[in-house]
């Protein structure tokens, strides 16, 4: 009996160690309903070789905004540092983006707004997809928004009579 309980304790401790967050992969995430206060004005120190200045920003802690002062961060070869900033979502909530390192290249952040291209609603690719497939998009590209289009897929069959109104290959 003692061997089984000891073995169980060792397995449990090993799984906890594997799941424990580390400084390398820990990332702050918060979605808040109240707008952040104005940033505190800080004096940016002169450049420092091999380091990047991470400006101060507000973080949400304990149901309130707390100012985190700017500090130097060791530069990483092949990566760009994304400054932390609060972004408002469509539903009115706020979330903190940036404060991360992003690999340079075509899959990075072309407009340098702190949001990766694949997640950025401002990227041209995502805007095209939103226009085409979004709730008010134009699926068949006939210039009539889906909500007003009587033939969304452009197959010549009215949506009310079409068993598959969004698939041009089937009616």
Q: What is the pLDDT of residue 69?
A: 93
Give me the percent of the chain exceeding a pLDDT of 90.
19
Which pTM value belongs to this model?
0.47
Do 60 and 109 have their domain in common? yes
Give the integer Cα–Cα distance in Å for 84 and 54: 8
In a domain? residue 83: yes
Place of tokens 């950025």: 120
Per-chain mean pLDDT for the chain: 74
pLDDT band at 135 (very low <50, low <70, confident <90, very high): low
Radius of gyration in angstroms for the set of CA atoms belonging to the chain, rounded to a whole number: 25
Q: Are residues 33 and 104 in the same domain?
A: yes
Q: Which residue has the tokens 């060792």?
A: 10
In a domain, 5, yes or no: no
> Between residues 107 and 88, which one has the greater pLDDT?
88
Residue corresponding to tokens 């903190």 = 96
Q: Please state the domain count of the chain.
A: 2
Query: 110: domain range?
Result: 26-38+48-115
The C-alpha atoms of residue 132 and residue 146 are separated, in whole angstroms, by: 9
What is the distance in angstroms between the CA of the first residue and the CA of the last residue of the chain? 67
Q: DSSP secondary-structure letter at 156? A: S
């Amino acid at each position: 009996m003692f061997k089984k309980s000891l073995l169980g304790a060792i397995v449990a401790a090993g799984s906890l160690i594997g799941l424990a967050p580390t400084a390398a992969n820990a990332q702050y995430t918060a979605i808040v309903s109240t707008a952040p206060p104005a940033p505190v004005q800080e004096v940016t120190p002169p450049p420092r070789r091999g380091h990047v200045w991470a400006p101060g920003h507000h973080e949400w802690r304990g149901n309130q905004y707390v100012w985190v002062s700017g500090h130097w961060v060791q530069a990483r070869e092949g990566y760009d540092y994304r400054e932390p900033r609060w972004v408002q979502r469509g539903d009115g909530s706020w979330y903190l983006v940036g404060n991360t390192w992003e690999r340079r290249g075509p899959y990075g952040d072309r407009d340098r707004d702190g949001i990766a291209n694949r997640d950025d609603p401002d990227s041209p690719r995502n805007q095209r997809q939103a226009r085409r497939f979004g709730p008010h998009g134009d699926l068949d590209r006939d210039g009539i928004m889906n909500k007003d289009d009587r033939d969304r897929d452009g197959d010549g069959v009215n949506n009310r009579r079409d068993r598959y109104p969004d698939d041009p290959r089937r009616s």
